[in-house]
């Protein structure tokens, strides 16, 4: 019998830890007092069981619950529900780790293309990749396409929409995709090197599915989605039922206070199918500790139940000046995202873009 | 020009508060340094502006940002992105309030049936409604239908699936719905009073849409969804593009965000279309403060831009013994949810269910 293992950090003293652990095991599975579990099947195949209660050196306790696989129905939404459904409503509980048995890993499937697939799109294998964003929001499709041309001429590998580019009247999705894909072809013709334009899909399912269809039909070679904004199960369905191109995950709305970032971005986004995961890095205007970033990036690429590795994309306000050191920290299998910093001086966007590309190339 | 107004609590001292406020306004809209905003249209129609920076008596500051409506594209996912997209990744920021202008309220639409629609389903207008859950997970469709019969005979108004009932091999959705709807009709015949069976929809969009269609075709008169599990934009699409019956919202996975509960459950779930909102109440095994519960319940029913009120459904482990006092606290326009407590004594489920119904009826 296989188990989904979930670990929580709970702010409790030793005297309460075991009782809380039993309560967590109930809350995440049967959601009734223990006395109500009278049926042998429910007891053996559904009820969560406490596997470990360990004091955390930093205070509080780490509690690990094993949940029988049968309870998950191998469904992407139900897996989340069992991981951190009702217990997320207890303010002192943080979900810190998960272990998927082979059956769940196989059901979730992970990335379809992963690092190798993204590298193949640009033919680069010996250095970290580079990435920037088309922004700020508020520009016309033609203005964004022109910005794309500047970035592509400078040799940036992936140029993604900002995650706030939606179905705006001043910049409809289809016009934007058409203009940027045309610019992609035009600069490839000019330079012999084809950067990848990555449109952002955002909206309710009917909107996103339509956007995906249009993007693929127009020749987009990758797309981006914010899984927490649209829903992780939607993200899974896009990756595994609808998209035929790689999918980048953006962290918007992922406010990870109570799911450890290394778990959410490092394991969950990967398991659900992200070929690349954008996350806020140390050295940005967000400031997670270096060791969290290290664990997060490691989780994205380490061997895991036959699931492909996912490309770490550190971002969140990295500057050209520190791009090389950040690239060295994450190593070759990463993609550096530098956004607004390329645009801080009017008229110098091309120059700054080239400087970014050179800085990262130097680390390969 | 209309604005989406969003308020945040930020853990900063007075000397940093104004700078953080400007940073929040940039982060939530243009996501570039201020100097990059050179275009007049972007400056006036996209860029967020700081409206208020006030010291919070409990410490830190409350910051209110006004975001021009044009940035929202009136899209349910983009509204979330602008409310708390990237800023959710700053560990010291909590999203505490939002004001929707008429245009966004109209686009989101809110509940289609609301309190009046739910009351009409059971013909009860003079007392709080009652609710319980079919659980624990792990039972067969027939066992759950039998539990439904017990609750319906006792006169409980709404009997919902537990939010963990998914597409399990031991209890497929369609078999469960068929069995429970049949039980609903059977007990209505017997007692002359028809309780409402509320199936839980869970999964990726294709699964949920199929479940909804089957449930409605089978005669279900309401359904339940966990918006944070499946994604708020999916929830919106279900409510406003697909469902023809009322939708109850369940709080599973909702605690993972740093959004004040009175905002998320009281305003956001209502605005997105929940006809009834289940939340964990004071007096349960979760223990939010009474004043948070009061504000949350008030938000669900207060007049708001022509949006229908949504039914407050306090739950999370309320016991029969305190049901009457909790019902009095929330008043007539509420629905009490008592779950596992009805089942703690084998053989006394019917009796305890009747006691629950009587306790709430006594407060009408």
Q: What's the burial of B102, exposed, middle or buried (CB within 10 Å: 0-12/13-18/19+)?
A: exposed
Interchain pair B75, A207: CB under 8 A? yes
Interchain pair A23, B166: CB under 8 A? no
Handedness of CA B251, B255, B256, B259 (dihedral sign): positive
Q: Give every strand in the sheet of A247-249, ordered side by side.
A: A200-201, A223-225, A247-249, A276-280, A311-315
CB A92 within 8 A of CB B218: no
**pLDDT, greater one: B112 or A181:** A181
Q: Does A284 touch chain B (CB under 8 A)?
A: no
Instruction: Please give the DSSP secondary-structure letter assigned to residue A168.
Output: B
CA-CA distance, A186 to B172, in Å (whole number)?
A: 53
Provide mean pLDDT across the span A19-48. 93
CB B271 within 8 A of CB B108: yes
- Please write the tens of the pLDDT for every residue from A100-124: 899 998 998 888 888 899 999 999 9
ipTM score here?
A: 0.87
Q: What's the burial of B141, exposed, middle or buried (CB within 10 Å: 0-12/13-18/19+)?
A: buried
CB A279 within 8 A of CB A315: yes
Provide mean pLDDT across the span B2-9. 94
Instruction: Please give the DSSP secondary-structure letter assigned to residue A15.
Output: H
In A168-187, the residues whose Cβ lies within 8 Å of chain B are: 168-170
Is residue A194 over pLDDT 90? yes
Interchain pair A77, B233: CB under 8 A? no
Is residue A256 over pLDDT 60? no
Residue of B nearest to A316 (CA): B86
Provide mean pLDDT across the span B346-356. 91
- Please write the tens of the pLDDT for every residue from B152-208: 999 999 999 999 999 999 999 999 999 999 999 999 999 999 999 999 999 999 999
- Please write the tens of the pLDDT for every residue from B250-261: 988 887 666 778
CB A331 within 8 A of CB A300: no
What integer best gives the mean pLDDT of chain A? 92
List Cα–Cα distances, A126 to A308, A335, A336, B228, in angstroms: 19, 12, 14, 40
What integer best gives the mean pLDDT of chain B? 92
- Please write the tens of the pLDDT for every residue from B51-85: 999 999 989 999 999 999 999 999 999 998 998 98
Beta carbons within 10 angstroms of residue B31's beta carbon: 22
Helix (H, G, I), strand (E, B) or coil at A79: helix
Q: Does A9 touch chain B (CB under 8 A)?
A: no
CA-CA distance, A255 to A278, in Å (whole number)?
A: 14
pLDDT number for residue B166: 95
CA-CA distance, A31 to A250, in Å (whole number)?
A: 33
SS (H, E, C) B53-73: EEECCCCCEEEEEEEEHHHHC
Residue B168 is nearest to which of A73, A135, A241, comparing CB atoms? A73
Continuous segment of H or E residues that includes residue B147: helix B141-154
How far is A304 from chain B, CA to nearest CA, in Å?
A: 24
pLDDT number for residue A257: 55
Residue A202 is nearest to which of B35, B75, B203, comparing CB atoms? B75
CA-CA distance, B324 to B224, in Å (whole number)?
A: 25
CA-CA distance, B194 to A121, in Å (whole number)?
A: 60
The residue of A257, A318, A345 whose CB has the most chain B CBs within 10 angstroms, and thus the best one to mutate to test that interface, is A257
Question: Range with the lowest mean pLDDT among A63-67, A72-76, A149-153, A257-261?
Answer: A257-261
CA-CA distance, B313 to B248, in Å (whole number)?
A: 9
Helix (H, G, I), strand (E, B) or coil at A105: helix
CA-CA distance, B307 to B107, in Å (whole number)?
A: 11
Strands A61-68 and A3-10: antiparallel
CA-CA distance, A221 to A242, in Å (whole number)?
A: 14
CA-CA distance, B62 to B10, in Å (whole number)?
A: 6
- Please write the tens of the pLDDT for every residue from B120-137: 999 999 989 998 999 999
Interchain pair A205, B237: CB under 8 A? yes
A37 interaction partners in chain B (CB closer than 8 Å): 136
CB B296 within 8 A of CB B331: no
pLDDT number for residue A258: 67
- Please write the tens of the pLDDT for every residue from A291-313: 999 999 999 999 988 889 999 99
pLDDT number for residue B317: 86
pLDDT number for residue B213: 98
Residue of A nearest to B137 (CA): A30
Triad B263, B46, B98: Cα angle to 5°: 10
Is residue B312 over pLDDT 90? yes
Is residue B364 over pLDDT 80? no
Triad A346, A351, A122: Cα angle to 5°: 120
Q: Does B92 touch chain A (CB under 8 A)?
A: no
CB A248 within 8 A of CB A285: no
> Where are the strands (E) in chain B, listed by range?
3-10, 49-55, 61-68, 93-99, 129-134, 158-161, 196-198, 200-201, 223-225, 247-249, 276-280, 311-315, 335-337
Copy the structure tokens of residue B156.
């409980």
Interchain pair B253, A80: CB under 8 A? yes
pLDDT number for residue A231: 93
């Amino acid at each position: 019998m296989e188990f989904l293992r979930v670990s929580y950090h709970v702010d409790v003293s030793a005297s309460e830890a075991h009782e809380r652990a039993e309560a967590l095991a109930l809350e995440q599975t049967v959601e009734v007092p223990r006395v109500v579990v009278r049926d042998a099947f429910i007891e053996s195949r559904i009820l969560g069981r406490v596997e470990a209660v360990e004091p955390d050196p930093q205070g509080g306790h780490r509690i690990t619950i094993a949940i029988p696989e049968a309870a998950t129905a191998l469904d992407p939404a139900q897996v989340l529900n069992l991981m951190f459904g009702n217990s997320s409503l207890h303010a002192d509980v943080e979900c810190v780790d998960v272990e998927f048995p082979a059956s769940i890993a196989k059901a979730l499937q992970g990335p379809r293309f992963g690092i190798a697939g993204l590298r193949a799109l640009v033919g680069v294998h010996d250095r970290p990749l580079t990435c920037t964003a088309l922004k700020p929001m508020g520009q016309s499709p033609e203005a964004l396409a022109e910005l794309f041309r500047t970035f592509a001429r400078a040799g940036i590998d992936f140029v993604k929409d900002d995650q706030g580019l939606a179905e705006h009247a001043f910049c409809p999705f289809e016009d934007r995709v058409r203009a940027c894909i045309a610019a992609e072809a035009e600069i490839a013709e000019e330079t012999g090197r084809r950067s990848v334009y990555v449109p952002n899909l955002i909206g309710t399912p009917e909107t996103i599915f339509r956007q995906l269809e249009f993007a693929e039909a127009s020749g987009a070679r990758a797309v981006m989605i914010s899984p927490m904004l649209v829903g992780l199960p939607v993200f899974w369905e896009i990756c595994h039922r609808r998209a035929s191109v790689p999918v980048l995950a953006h962290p918007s709305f992922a406010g990870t206070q109570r799911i450890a970032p290394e778990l959410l971005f490092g394991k969950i986004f990967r398991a659900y199918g992200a070929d690349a995961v954008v996350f806020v890095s140390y050295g940005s205007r967000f400031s997670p500790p270096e060791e969290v970033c290290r664990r997060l990036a490691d989780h994205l690429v380490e061997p895991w139940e036959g699931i492909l590795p996912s490309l770490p994309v550190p971002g969140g306000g990295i500057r050209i000046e520190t791009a090389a050191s950040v690239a060295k920290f994450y190593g070759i299998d990463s993609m550096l995202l530098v956004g607004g910093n390329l645009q801080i001086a009017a008229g110098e966007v091309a120059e700054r873009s080239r400087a970014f590309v050179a800085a990262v190339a130097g680390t390969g």
